[in-house]
Amino acid sequence: MKKRGRIVAFFLIVALLGTMIGTTVTGVAKDIKLGLDLQGGFEILYEVDPIDEEQEVNRQVLEATVQSLTERVDSLGISEANINIEEPNRIRVQLAGVDNQQEARELLSTTAELSFRDVEGNEYLDGSDIVEGSAQQSFDANTNQPVVTVKMESAQEFYEVSDTITSKEQDPETPYDDRMMVIWLDYNESETTFPEEYGKEDPAYISALGFNNDEPIRSTDVQIDGNFTVESAKQLADMLNAGSLPVNLEEMYSTSVGAQFGEQAMNKTVIAGAIGIALIFLYMIAYYRFPGIIAAVTLSVYIYLILVVFELMNGVLTLPGIAALILGVGMAVDANIITYERIKEELKSGKSVMSAFKSGNKRSLATILDANITTLIAAGVLFIFGTSSVKGFATMLIVSILVSFITAVFGTRLFMGLWIHSRLLNKRPGWFGVKPSQIQDINDTTPVNTTVKGKTFDFAGLRKRFFAISIILIASGGIALMIFKLNLGIDFTSGSRVSILSDGNIKAPQVEETLEEEFGVTPKQIVISGDNDEIAVARFETVLPKDKVGEIQAHYEEKYGNTPNVSTVSPIVGQELAKNAALAVLYASIGIVIYVTIRFEFFFALTAILALLHDAFFIIALFSITRLEFDITIIAAILAIVGYSVNDTIVTFDRIRENLKLKRKVKTFGELAKVVNESLMQTLARSFNTVITVVFAALMIFLFGASSITNFGFALVVGLVAGTYSSLFIAAQLWLVMRGRTIEKKPIEYSAKKKTNGPQV
Estimate the share of the chain in helix, then strand, then coil, as percent rounded to the nearest 5: 60, 15, 25
> Helix or strand or coil: residue 430?
helix
Are 695 and 549 part of one and the same domain? no
pLDDT score of 704 more than 70: yes
Has residue 436 got a pLDDT over 70? yes
Ranges 308-317, 507-516, 594-603, most confident? 507-516
DSSP H or E stretch at residue 207: strand 207-209
Q: Does the pLDDT at position 754 exceed 60?
A: no
Last-in-domain residue among 225, 257, 289:
257
Is the pLDDT assigned to residue 760 strictly greater than 60?
no
What's residue 448's pLDDT? 66
- Between 102 and 284, the more confident residue is 284
Q: What is the predicted pLDDT for the residue at 547?
A: 81
Pick the more confident residue, 313 or 330: 313
Instruction: Let me know whether 716 and 731 are in one domain.
Output: yes
CATH number for the domain harbouring residue 250: 3.30.70.3400
The whole-angstrom separation of Cα 291 and Cα 474 is 40
What pLDDT shows up at residue 492? 85
521 and 667 in a single domain? The answer is: no
Q: Give yes or no: residues 615 and 712 share one domain.
A: yes
| Residue 207, domain member (yes or no) | yes
Mean pLDDT of 276-303: 90
Both 672 and 699 in one domain: the answer is yes
State which of 200, 227, 257 marks the end of a domain: 257
Total-model pTM? 0.78
Q: So what's the pLDDT on residue 761?
A: 31
109 has pLDDT over 80 = no
Residue 656 CA to residue 675 CA, distance in Å, equals 7
Residues 613-664 pLDDT 10s:
888 898 999 999 998 889 888 888 887 777 777 777 888 888 888 888 888 8
Q: What is the pLDDT of residue 78?
A: 67
Same domain? For 512 and 541 the reply is yes
pLDDT score of 123 more than 50: yes
Do the domain assignments include residue 440?
no
Residue-wise pLDDT for 596-614, tens only, equals 888 877 888 888 888 888 8
Alpha helices by DSSP H, listed for 176-289, are 194-197, 230-242, 259-288
Alpha carbons 426 and 76: distance in angstroms, whole number: 67
- 759, 660 contact by CB (below 8 A): yes
* Most confidently predicted of 91-100, 206-215, 476-485: 476-485
pLDDT of residue 625: 92
Sign of CA dihedral 179, 185, 187, 191: negative
Check whether residue 537 and residue 639 sit in a common domain.
no
In this model, does residue 482 exceed pLDDT 60?
Answer: yes
Q: Is 23 inside any structural domain?
A: no
Mean predicted confidence (pLDDT) in 323-346: 82
Supply the pLDDT for residue 110. 73
> Quick one: how far is CA 319 from the chain centroid?
7
What's the CA gap between 49 and 69, in Å, rounded?
A: 15
- Of 164-168, 396-400, 427-431, 522-526, which has the strongest mean pLDDT? 522-526
Say if residues 317 and 389 touch (Cβ distance below 8 Å): no
Question: What is the per-residue pLDDT across 556-586, written as a single tens digit (0 to 9) for each?
Answer: 988 888 888 898 888 888 788 778 878 887 8
Q: Return d(Cα 4, Cα 18) in angstroms, integer.
A: 21
CB atoms inside a 10 Å sphere around CB 87: 7
Could you tell me if residue 348 is inside a domain? no
Q: In this structure, what CATH number is given to the domain that contains residue 745?
A: 1.20.1640.10
Looking at residue 547, which CATH number applies to its domain? 3.30.70.260
* pLDDT value of position 691: 82
24 within domain boundaries: no
Same domain, 220 and 84: no
Q: What is the pLDDT of residue 24?
A: 92
Looking at residues 465-494, what average pLDDT do you find? 90
Q: Which contiguous run of DSSP H or E holds residue 748?
A: strand 748-749
- Shared-domain flag, residues 556 and 594: no
Q: Residue 156 domain-assigned?
A: yes
pLDDT tens figures, 549-558 = 888 988 998 8
User: Does 702 map to a domain?
Assistant: yes
Cα–Cα distance, 33 to 262 (Å, whole number): 13
Average pLDDT of the residues in 358-381: 82
Contacts of 465 (CB under 8 A, 6+ apart): none
For residue 450, what pLDDT is reported? 62
Sheet of 565-569, strand order: 81-86, 90-96, 41-49, 248-257, 565-569, 495-501, 535-540, 525-529
The reply to whether 549 and 616 lie within a common domain is no
Q: What confidence tens digit (pLDDT) does each residue in 678-688 have?
A: 888 888 888 88
Which amino acid is residue 437, in one-letter code?
S
Residue 473 included in any domain: yes
- Mean pLDDT value across residues 284-313: 90
Q: What range defines the domain where residue 712 resides?
A: 463-484+576-749
Based on the domain organization, do 468 and 617 belong to the same domain? Answer: yes
Element (H, E) at 312: helix 290-312
Residue 540 has pLDDT above 90, yes or no: yes
Structural domain count of the chain: 4
* Mean pLDDT rounded to a whole number for the chain: 83
Contact 361, 323 (CB under 8 A): no
Question: What pLDDT was estimated at residue 638?
Answer: 83
From residue 495, how far is each of 310, 514, 542, 549 by CA, in Å?
34, 19, 4, 13
Asked whether residue 726 falls in the same domain as residue 657, the answer is yes
Give tens-digit pLDDT for 446-462.
Answer: 666 666 666 678 888 88
H/E element holding 665? strand 665-666
pLDDT tens for each residue of 36-77: 778 878 888 889 888 777 778 888 888 888 888 887 777 666
3-state SS assignment for residue 91: strand
**Interior/surface letters 431-459, b for 16+ CB within 10 angstroms, e for the rest:** ebbbeeeeeeeeeeeebbbeeeeeeeeeb
Last residue of a domain, one of 569, 601, 633: 569
